[in-house]
Every structure is written in C-alpha cells, then in structure tokens.
Structure 1
Amino acid sequence: MSDAINLDGPAIESPSVDPAESATAKQSVPVKVAGRVDRLPPYMFGRINAMLYQKRRDGSDVIDLGMGNPSDPPDPIVVAKLAEAAADERNHGYSKSNGIANLRREVASKYYRKYGARLDPESEIIACLGSKEGFSHMCLALMGPGDTAMIPAPYFPIHMYGVILASGNVVSLDVADPDKFLSNVAYTCENLTPRPKVLIVNYPHNPSSATIDPSFFVEVVRLARKYQFMVLHDFAYADIAFDGYQPPSFLAVDGAKEVGVEFTTMSKGYNMAGWRVGFCAGNAEMIRALGTIKGYYDYGMFQAIQIAAIVALRETEAAVEAQSVVYQKRRDVLVNGLRRLGWKVTPPKAGMFVWAEVPEQWRKAMSTMDFAMMLLEQGDVAVSPGSGFGPAGEGYLRLALVENQQRLRQAIRQIGRCLEKASAAQA
C-alpha cells in the first residue's frame, strides 16, 4: 500500500452512522446566548444584502451604493512598502497592541501639522484595528450597567450598539442642527438622573453628512466640564472634504484632552479599509483604559501593515487630497443626477455619502426599506435605507460615492427607469 498522501481525498473518513440519527446527537445542549446579544435587533440590511447576493449570483450587474467601501486602491508606494516589510521575517511576531512607537509619532506629527494639536505619542495615542474596533472597546472601557451615552440621531450602528454591548443605555439626539443638538445635550444632562456619562459625536456625520465649525467643539468642551461627561468623537471622515471645507478636529480645541478622545482611520482618505488601521488620541487616562481592554483582546495589528501606514502618513498627503477631488466629482454627478429626477438633495461638504430625501410620492406609498428594496429588485441599484440608522433616518436614503462617475450616471438612469415603471404601475 502506498504511503503517498491523497491531496484530493477527505480529511477524515465518513462516519458509518449518520450523526443526525445517533442517540447522542438528539441529546443536544441548549444554546442560551448572553443577554447583550438578545438586546441586538435583527440586522437591518439583511434583506438588501441577501437580494444583492442572489441577483449577482443570477448574473445581474448591480451597482452597489450601499456600503462606504472604497473602491480605489492605496497609493502604490504604500503597497510596495507593505510587500517589503512582509518579506522581513522580523515583522511576523506578535506586535504591541498599542502600536509601534514610530507609527504613533507619525500620527502626532499629522495632528500638529494639520490641526495644531500637540499630542504625546507615548500616552495620548493608541493604534486600533480600525476606528470601529477602537470605539467599541472604548465603550467597554468606560461604560457598564446603568451608564448612559448621548448619541447622534440618525446614528451609525456602532454608536448605538457599541454602547448596548457594553451594557449601557443610550439617549439619541437629532444631529441635523448643531445648535439644537448642543441645547439638547444640556437639557438631557439637566433632566436625566443619573447624568449621562458619555457624549458621542461624529462629524462629518455618517449617515447624514452634517458638518460643524470649530466653535461647536468649544461648546462641547464647556458642556463636558460643566456636566462632567466624557467625549468620544468619531472623526472617520477627517480626510474627505469638498469646496474648501476643512473638517475641524475636536482635539484642536483648548481643553479637549481633559474631557475626551478622538478616533481617526486610514480606511477612507487613504483607501486602506481592509488594512484595519485606526487611532484613538486624546485624554491619557481614557487611552490607558482602552489599552487595558485591548491588552486582553488582541495583540495589535500586523507589524508590516504598521510600517506601511507610517509611509502612507508621511509621504502620501497629496494622494489623500487628490482622493477628495475624486469624491467631490462623484458627489456632483450623483447630486445633479438625482436633482434632475426631481429629488431634494443637499450637496454634502464632506464624507463619502449623499443623504437624499425620498420623493414625497414614494414616502407616502411605502417605507424607506421597501423603497430601497424596489430600487434593488427592479432597478439593480443597491442603497442604504435611512431607517437602518434608526427612526430619525426614515424617509431618507444613504448613497455611497464608491463607484466611478460613469457607473454613477448609469445608476441614475436605472433609478429613473425603475421609478418611471413603478409610477406607471401605480396609475
């Protein structure tokens, strides 16, 4: 008998008895998940994703504007540096969970260069596996049963469910008007007992693309001091802005480091979404608490990725600025196209999305989720229904600027034809 390994054979022998028919299999142990899982609602985009997958399996060319997943590649010098660093055998061991020192120094350099904010790379900056991981673990570090966080409405899901997974409670405040948002923060702190422990802010805002000026954060710091809450600013879209607008950093305001932290990412402007490179910067004690949580949960990101990220931060600023121009041109194509269809759309000043109000005819006829499903099923265009971002998002769609201009024009044509046929069917 040959001892040669059969690479095409099964890894184990097939069982002689069907496991489903054995007595042992019938005595299954009941699976009782943790209460934190039971508190999570069904995934709002599940129906859309299932249909998108099926249509693509059936051969449909669906234009996917649903997810803010950059379709452009990183700068070639960053990819080359990754390959070089990955070839170095010294980079394949466990890495420090807070990030290598040179990467944290480069983040501090960018903050000072771009925002005039001084940060200590040793105690005031930590690397994260994307900003989403850092944010959710910060919630675990700061919150527990009975603690409350104030969050924007509509909300990016992790801003709600990061708190819930940490066993906290949420109060959602309308984000559309910055002054009203701040007055609602003060009102909530005055009337809720115990007072909220955390304020979560996100500008440029996802999904609505709402923006603010630097004076907003001056008031946030004042309120945080007055009411003794901590601030988490999700600054994911710091590097994507249009028409001369510069998104302000929370950490550029005097006193910000005394009350909170800011999360940034290389996923968007640097086109490194799959690399999972993010940062948390600001209050040293909050950074220390996050580092403690991360020390138990992970060993940090692959060191070769960190080395490539240093090169990206140091040498590709021009490419990041050029990427904003690409997104601005896409924004103009999409906004102008929707307006030609009769939609009310405000051009965003920053971010990767257009937040579009569903035309009144369709708002009266169906839910935003059903409208989005119609566009996918009959128009081969996938979008995110606003209701997926909480009740405040009902009546809106979020459309991501992730396709090129030609594909966006095609998406507009397909949306127009879809709605024209649906209107005729209604008549």
Structure 2
Amino acid sequence: MVNHSHRLDRLPKYLFAKLDEAIEKARAMGVDVIDLGVGDPDMPTPAHIVEEMVSAVRNPTYHRYPSYAGMLAFRQAAARWYEQRFGVACDPASEVITLIGSKEGIAHIPLAFLDEGDVALVPDPAYPVYANATILAGGTPYAMPLLEDCGFLPELEAIPVEVRERAKLMFLNYPNNPTAAVADRQFFREVVEFAHEWDILVCHDNPYSEIAFDGYRAPSFLEVKGAKEVGIEFNSLSKTYNMTGWRIGYVLGSREAIAALGRVKTNIDSGAFEAVQMAGIAALTGPQECVQESVRVYAERRRLLLELTDALGLEAEPPKATFYVWARLPEGTRSMVYCERLLDGSGIVATPGVGFGEHGEGYIRLAMTQPTSRIEEAVRRVSQQPPS
C-alpha cells in the first residue's frame, strides 16, 4: 500500500468525529436534531442572482475554460464594490483575483510565500484552514491567542522576536469566526506597522463584514494607510448573498502578493466557472435590499440565541457582527463534553470551541443559520427542561 505524505501526519486530529457520530446516531434513533453548529446560511440566494446564473449558463460562451485570474468584468465589479463600501481603490487588472470561494485562496496563499520551516502567525481560536494550509505548504503555524480579556484580538507584542523573524504570513479575520469579535481601525494600524517592521504579509479574511447589527459598520483592513503595501484581503459572496454552494470569492490588495497567488493558481486550478462569475457580478452590482433583509432575519435569530444561552445558564455578549454567538461555559467545563450532553439532553447541536484551537476551550459557538422556528424550538426545549 502506498503511504501518505508526512504533511498529512502533521495535520491536527479531527476533533469533531465523536460528536458527528453522536449526531448520526441520534438521528438514526428518530431524534429531531436542531443543528446550530454549521455556519451555512439556510436562506436562499436572492432571485436576481439566480436569474442571472440561469441566463449565463445557457450561453455557450461561458462553457469554455475561464481566465485563471477571473473575468475582468467580475474583478471590476469587486473593485467597484470595495471602493463604494470601504473607500479602497484597487486596480482590477493587477490587484484583484477571482477565487473559487475565498477558502481556495486562503489555502493557496501559503504555497506562494512559505518555504519549509517558515512561520505563519495564526489566530487561536480560528477557522482551521489558516493553520492547516500552512502545514500542507510545509510551514509552521504559530498560534496567537485570542483572549476574551483582550477583546479576542491578538497581542502582537507578545509574539517572541525569534518567531517574528521567521514569520512570513499573518492571518487575521474580523468580524471574527468563531468569537464574533470585531476590530477597529486602530488595531489594523498597529498590524500594518508590525507587518512593515517585520516584513510580514497580512492575510485578512473578511467574509462577514455585511452581517452586522445595531448600526455597526465593519471596516476593511485595506482602509488603513500602508495596508495595501503589506497585505491582502479575502472576501466572499457566500455569507453576504447566501451563496456558500456557488464557490465564488475574490482577493484584493498587494500587487506582488496577488501576482504570486496567481502563479500558484495557474498551476493548480482553471478558474471559476464564468456563469457563476456573471451571477457574482449581479450580486455585487445589483440591488442590496436582499442583504438588509438577511440581516433583519439574523437580528431576530440573534435575539433568540441569546435567549437560548440565557436558558442554558451561559454568558454571551450580543455579537456586533457575524451570524455566530460565542458563549462562555462554566469554569472547568470541557466544550466537547458539554456539546455531547446538550445533544443527548435536548437534541441541540453546538460547535465545541476546542475545535477551533486550544484557546477556544471553555466556549461553544452557536450559528444563526437555522430557520427562526427551529431556534424557537431549541429555546422551548431548554426552557422546559433546563440543563442539569
């Protein structure tokens, strides 16, 4: 039998296997499971986007190989959206690349910048792809703890000098998954200064900027002076327009970094289906009332999830953005054990914080991505039978 690579051996163990098994067992036994664990919008993609896709897919022009960098029209739409939303100017020809979902670009960027033994600074807790893509590229992830006392922002000055000297990349993500924390422009200014000093490329993941509440407006990392010289920003249509299955996103910023990522892409993929890119143009340039409606729905679900955490006896801050609630467990409670008990006792699935890194231990994540009636049912179950 052919042995797999040592890179796979370096990947962290899949922590959710036991919980996944318990979910399947519960469903097989007829339990009505309410899954508040997965961050996948349940609302449909807006009709005008779907209609553009239907029209485009019938056009044989879009049936051939797409451009590796993406259609210029899509890149122009993305650049125009960024300028209108954030006041950030990017050249569509050289500072924007279309992605097959932002995850694809995040997974490929370490291949463009890390050699064996180089370091990527990754938040903890975090979206697992940051660390795992680093490992698959032969690099070494260095965990930057996101602690509640620090607003779930990394303490840059706590990073040892010897780590800074080896670091080539820094991954950030605000509004944040899983903590729902937000970052202000002053924090981004400090990141830019740090990146300039230590010659680090900042990779900011920004898919949740439009899922925001109570008048909050999330900034872009690229708004800060000097950011484009040391950074790139990934964005996606998945969360804003309920398009997770469509696999369409983009990255903007440093011309040199965009070119390097483009070289990787030309050797790995063949670009995003152009009919999907046409639908993406419709999303970015069309009516935005659909986004406001999604946020209105999420706001009601946020209220219900906060009722749920209260019924569970957990502490949780109302999130300013994202469709997640990050809830603190009682002192000494292990998140995986808690989630298993919640499933057994109430048929409710939550994501254990430890699955996002060791600094996520002691928390659970709840997603607003189930129909409102299902979240109401979760509240009813817990209210009728509070956890022991």
Q: Shared fold (TM-score greater than 0.5)? A: yes
* Residue 397 in structure 1 maps to residue 368 in structure 2: no
Question: What's the TM-score, normalizing by structure 1?
Answer: 0.87
Cα distance in 2 for partners of 1:211, 1:178 equals: 11
- Secondary structure of the corresponding residue to residue 279 of structure 1: strand
Per the TM alignment, residue 416 of structure 1 is displaced from its structure 2 partner at its CA by: 4.6
2:378 aligned residue: 411
* Residue 117 in structure 1 maps to residue 88 in structure 2: yes
Per the TM alignment, residue 175 of structure 1 is displaced from its structure 2 partner at its CA by: 2.2
* Residue 277 in structure 1 maps to residue 244 in structure 2: no
The partner residue of 1:47 within 11, 18, 25 is 18
Query: After the TM superposition, which residues 90-129 of structure 1 pair with which residues of structure 2 at under 5 Å, given as runs?
Result: 90-129=61-100
Letter of the structure 2 residue corresponding to residue 398 of structure 1: R
Q: Report Cα offsets for 1:96-132 as digits up to 9, x if no partner.
A: 1211010000000011000000000010000111111
1:11 aligned residue: none
Alpha-carbon contact 1:381-1:415 (below 8 Å) kept: no
Letter of the structure 2 residue corresponding to residue 393 of structure 1: G
- Secondary structure of the corresponding residue to residue 15 of structure 2: coil
The list of structure 1 runs, each at least 4 consecutive aligned residues, that deviate by more than 6 angstroms after superposition, is: none
* Residue 172 in structure 1 maps to residue 106 in structure 2: no
Per the TM alignment, residue 333 of structure 1 is displaced from its structure 2 partner at its CA by: 1.2
Alpha-carbon contact 1:189-1:227 (below 8 Å) kept: no
* Residue 384 in structure 1 maps to residue 342 in structure 2: no
Q: Report Cα offsets for 1:349-400 as digits up to 9, x if no partner.
A: 000110011234xx44xx2111111212332111100110111111110011
2:131 aligned residue: 160
* Residue 34 in structure 1 maps to residue 5 in structure 2: yes
Letter of the structure 2 residue corresponding to residue 263 of structure 1: F
The partner residue of 1:205 within 157, 170, 176 is 176
Alpha-carbon contact 1:379-1:417 (below 8 Å) kept: no
Letter of the structure 1 residue corresponding to residue 8 of structure 2: V
Question: What's the TM-score, normalizing by structure 2?
Answer: 0.95
- Secondary structure of the corresponding residue to residue 267 of structure 2: helix
2:270 aligned residue: 299
Cα distance in 1 for partners of 2:277, 2:153 equals: 37
Alpha-carbon contact 2:205-2:233 (below 8 Å) kept: yes
The partner residue of 1:351 within 312, 319, 322 is 322
Cα distance in 2 for partners of 1:158, 1:74 equals: 25
Q: Report Cα offsets for 1:164-190 as digits up to 9, x if no partner.
A: 1111112212224558955x3234253
Cα distance in 2 for partners of 1:330, 1:114 equals: 26
Work out the number of aligned pairs and report it.
387
Query: After the TM superposition, which residues 46-65 of structure 1 pair with which residues of structure 2 at under 5 Å, given as runs?
Result: 46-65=17-36
Cα distance in 2 for partners of 1:102, 1:387 equals: 41
| Structure possessing the higher relative contact order (Cα contacts under 8 Å, 6 or more residues apart) | 2
Per the TM alignment, residue 142 of structure 1 is displaced from its structure 2 partner at its CA by: 1.1
1:150 aligned residue: 121
2:339 aligned residue: 372
What 5-or-longer segments of structure 2 have no aligned partner? none
The partner residue of 2:209 within 227, 238, 255 is 238
Cα distance in 2 for partners of 1:189, 1:311 equals: 46
Cα distance in 2 for partners of 1:224, 1:130 equals: 26
- Secondary structure of the corresponding residue to residue 233 of structure 2: strand
What 5-or-longer segments of structure 1 have no aligned partner? 1-29
Letter of the structure 1 residue corresponding to residue 355 of structure 2: G
Give RMSD over aligned pairs. Answer: 1.7
Per the TM alignment, residue 250 of structure 1 is displaced from its structure 2 partner at its CA by: 0.6
Largest Rg, 1 or 2: 1
Letter of the structure 1 residue corresponding to residue 102 of structure 2: S
- Secondary structure of the corresponding residue to residue 262 of structure 1: strand
1:18 aligned residue: none
Letter of the structure 2 residue corresponding to residue 412 of structure 1: V
- Secondary structure of the corresponding residue to residue 111 of structure 2: helix
- Secondary structure of the corresponding residue to residue 197 of structure 1: strand
Cα distance in 2 for partners of 1:268, 1:163 equals: 24
* Residue 253 in structure 1 maps to residue 224 in structure 2: yes
